[in-house]
């Protein structure tokens, strides 16, 4: 299966700062998703972005499939953005859709 690596593992920000989270994957993917896991464990689906760029409010994401990476941008961070951010990819060779998760980025936003 594919390997998914996220960086940085930990990120501490002051409220209002911008940040970029990165996800590298070892093989081509036909599904790439970004999630925010809140303190209760719920996985919030941020983006489904196998390629291209999408924006949703203060968040945006870009996937460059040919170079096997994806970026998640958080602008004007707020304390409620704190939590763990995961990216997960599905290899193009996988026939039944299982996702492989990265190890996550723990984001802490201080007021």
Output the CA–CA distances (angstroms, integers) from residue 76 to 32, 80, 107, in the order listed.
Answer: 24, 11, 14
Which of 24, 28, 17, 47 lies closest to 107 in space, CA to CA? 17
The single residue among 82, 102, 107, 109 that binds other proteins, judged by CB under 8 A, is: 102
> Does residue 42 bind other proteins (CB under 8 A)?
yes
Per CB under 8 A, does 48 bind other proteins? yes
25 scored as a contact of other proteins (CB under 8 A): no
Cis bond upstream, residue 15 (ω within 30): no
Residues at the interface with other proteins (CB under 8 A): 30-31, 33, 35, 40-43, 45, 48, 50, 86, 88, 95-104
């Amino acid at each position: 299966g594919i390997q998914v690596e996220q960086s940085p593992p930990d990120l501490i920000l002051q409220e209002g700062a911008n940040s970029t989270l990165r996800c590298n994957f070892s093989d081509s993917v036909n599904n790439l998703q970004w999630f925010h896991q809140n303190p209760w464990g719920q996985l919030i689906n941020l983006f489904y972005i196998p390629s291209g760029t999408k924006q949703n409010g203060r968040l945006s994401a870009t996937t460059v499939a040919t170079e096997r990476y994806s970026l998640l941008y958080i602008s004007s961070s707020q304390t409620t953005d704190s939590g763990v951010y995961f990216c997960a990819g599905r290899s193009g060779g996988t026939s039944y859709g299982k996702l492989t998760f990265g190890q996550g980025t723990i984001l802490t936003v201080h007021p």
